[in-house]
Amino acid sequence: MTIVWNYVGELVFNLLVLVGAVKASDRIVKEMMGL
């Protein structure tokens, strides 16, 4: 059971990092387009 929770936690963490990176890059692209 612990192994499963470790896997799920890692998956969620990677997903949050991915979403954060996408939002950050989207913001950077919009700022560049604004210039």
Extract the tokens encoding 22: 């996408």
Domain that holds residue 6: 1-35
DSSP symbol at 2: H
The yes-or-no verdict on residue 8 having pLDDT over 80 is yes
- The average pLDDT across 14-30 equals 97
The yes-or-no verdict on residue 6 having pLDDT over 90 is yes
Quote the pLDDT of residue 30. Answer: 94
| Tally of structural domains, the chain | 1
Dihedral sign, Cα of residue 14, residue 16, residue 18, residue 20? negative
- In order, the DSSP letters of 4-29 are HHHHHHHHHHHHHHHHHHHHHHHHHH
- Can you give the pTM of this predicted structure? 0.62
Query: How many CA atoms does the CB half-sphere of 31 hold within 13 Å?
Result: 6
